[in-house]
Amino acid sequence: MSTIKNPSDQSADKAEEKKYNKWIVLLAIVIPVVVAILSRIKLQDFGIDIEPLSFLPPIYATVNAITALVLAFAFWAIRNRKRKLHENLMKFAITLSVAFLAMYVAYHMTSESTNFGGEGAIKYVYYFILLTHILLSIVVIPFVLITYVRAITNNFERHKKIARITFPIWLYVAVTGVIVYIMISPYYV
């Protein structure tokens, strides 16, 4: 059951949200830039003798799969009015996404990128999935942050509105992360 807020409550909620806007903008820019830069830096180029973390791709693909399941379960939880469960699952999904990013960067800082070896139509399918995965993984960052802020500031009407956009994008990113891994895994050295 949704409660109708009076206009002064709504402006208080918006003011509370506004406090986070600078952080949302900053993180939405900094996260993809830092990931892009760090993913191209090789620790070996700086004389740091470290073994490639070649064991990470199946782990972070599994993290993506778990993220997709957690998102689906969180969607089920809120549909069934299990708000605390939904909240905890969403916090877990955010934690999983941060863990994924850390492992992804660590792998790319210690290992050479793997080229997709498929040919013909499958190559175009792979690159389409990869490109949409990468682009939407950047796009989803501010959506996740805004959705989260609207929840923690108790602005649930606005939270629900943006969550309808955030959820399918985030789910797509998580699922396509697994698909990209499955498609490229035969070509890992």
Q: What is the mean pLDDT of residues 172-181?
A: 97
Q: 């796009």: which residue's tokens?
A: 139
pLDDT bin (cut points 50, 70, 90) of residue 101 is very high
Per-residue model confidence (pLDDT) at position 173: 98
Residue that the structure tokens 């402006």 belong to: 11
Asked whether the predicted pLDDT for residue 9 surpasses 80, the reply is no
Burial 26-49 (b: 16+ CB within 10 A, else e): eebeebbeebeeebeeeeeeeeee
Q: What is the rounded average pLDDT of the residues 74-81?
A: 98
User: Quick count: other Cβ atoms within 10 Å of Cβ 137?
Assistant: 23
175 and 68 Cβ atoms separated by less than 8 Å: yes
pLDDT beyond 70 at 180: yes
Residue 125 maps to which CATH number? 1.20.120
Has residue 59 been placed in a domain? yes
Assess whether pLDDT exceeds 70 at residue 4: no
Give the pLDDT confidence score for residue 48 in this predicted structure.
85
Q: Is residue 101 part of a domain?
A: yes
The phi and psi torsions of 3 (rounded to 5 degrees) equal -100, 145
Over residues 132-174, the pLDDT tens digits come to 999 999 999 999 999 999 999 999 999 999 999 999 999 999 9
Write out the residue range of the structural domain in which residue 150 sits: 8-187
CB 58 within 8 A of CB 107: no
| pLDDT at residue 3, rounded to an integer | 47
Overall domain count for the chain: 1
Instruction: Work out the pLDDT band at 188, boundaries 50, 70, 90.
Output: confident
**pLDDT tens figures, 26-72:** 999 999 999 999 988 988 888 888 888 999 999 999 999 999 999 99
Backbone φ/ψ region at 172: left (φ over 0), alpha (ψ -120 to 50), beta: alpha
pTM, to two decimals: 0.88
What is the rounded distance in angstroms from the CA atom of residue 174 to the CA atom of residue 62?
10
Q: Is residue 3 part of a domain?
A: no
Does 2 map to a domain? no
What is the per-residue pLDDT for 7? Answer: 53
1 within some domain: no
> Nearest CA to 122 among 185, 60, 189, 184?
184
Residue with tokens 């629900």: 160
Taking residue 110's Cβ as centre, other Cβ atoms within 10 Å add up to: 17
pLDDT exceeding 70 applies to what percent of the chain?
A: 93
Instruction: Report the 10 Å Cβ neighbour count for 153.
Output: 19
Q: Is residue 91 in a domain?
A: yes
